[in-house]
Structure 1
């Protein structure tokens, strides 16, 4: 993006920006520092509370508590994630754990020694469990890996699904893995998800940014390209069902899911008539059934720097 001119008109009922701010940090006597929000989870008991994580742009990995009853929404508190085996985490996904605390997805990076990790942490941010993928699969890993995470129920058991963003070395072109973890026996299973082909005139790639349980074995996925502005073409929510699908152990042929395009979110990202942000990264469903979306501002490093927290309306729209 080289240069642009913005035109403004008076008459809006409310300001379109900012959509999220932070309360004061009592230890620093300054607003709570935040940025690079990359995953969302909703409090199952409080429709006005959601949680977010920040990625590796910052040294400290954080879980933020957000009050969405205000306009703009307000980050009211945070905890640092501590006790991990590696020095720096790249948190890209967060989900509520049914037995308390959170599941976190930390994106690995083969070139700098960061592992692809599923973490179970307490509400205080302390890591309780660290779960890695099978070694043979780790050898196939790429830079674009763990993104969203969600807990869902299958055959009466709590399961954890992690979305891998882009193809790994062992994936056919246009197919990415959903990694399904069973906490009862610490086993992994895998399925393939078919990505849309890039549709932007500027090319680029398409991948997954988030996964959210809809109940009854269905999950919603945030699928997007990596283009912004007038080149943005694919920013969408799809739905797949895991019912009747038997995940395969690594090394076996993976079943392919059937997806349904449920919502085009480009109109929501372009509603303010400004630059269309390329990174919608977090999605969740509140306790009262609203779809909440957040964009990742890359810590304002070589990026437009905006963060949009958007209410996309009733989650029933995905049915």
Structure 2
């Protein structure tokens, strides 16, 4: 895939553009392409293509590009599919691409302080709605910058940037219409809508809580069998496991995912080829983000984004991509001594 990384990415972008023109609609979004007997979701395969092209960029550019240029390129190749998927609209899938930036930049050798300067303004945006939280975060930022022993201009620019972000964000928020604010708050789980967006989450939490330690038994769950949980075979499949197999069954699933993730990190660390190592850590990031968000989502500690649980949730495209991610890890492990 090293030789075809750019081609793979180009095909992925073309397919995402095609979705916006002739894509099939479903569940209020235009996400699928239907080519005769083939019915697939291009956004799923775009995740793999983005990982491959970032790994290829590091392989091609490590000798002649400075950090700021590789960072700009990585942001560009990630933001392009994100924006196209957001237009479908599918915010949950679009956000899957965001973790590729810090994980692959860090694994590719970009300075942690550079990454800190890039991503800390996002924390400032969140903290800016409470003065005391914002003030505490600014103290932490200043302390970290001082301890990093960087140049004075670097320290001043970062402090000024975060202050500006903190001041501007509340004004931007209040410029939104009320219905736009409600959509954002519902997505973040800060407001409840028992008969609308929050219904699925409420039923999911009831199912998980009623499972107890050992669960109600196979096909014995009341929330699932009586269809109180509508999306139980896809995004909320973990609720079914927790209700029927209980806390023990849910923990077994989490431990199995943890084994895959830790093994993937070990494979990435042992690969001699930089391209293979970056691809491996990209696959780990993809699986970890899906698992973390999906399980957090059904438990009510993460926003409801509609992400499937890898290797478990129903869905052809997502299942194939999850299996492909694991297959790439196995292949890299087998060839870890090759440059």
TM over 0.5, yes or no?
A: no
**Band the TM-score falls in, shorter-chain normalisation:** under 0.3
TM value normalised by structure 1: 0.26
Greater RCO, CA 8 A, separation 6+: 2
Q: Which has the higher strand share?
A: 1
Structure (1 or 2) with the larger CA radius of gyration: 2
Q: Which has the higher helix share?
A: 2
TM value normalised by structure 2: 0.25
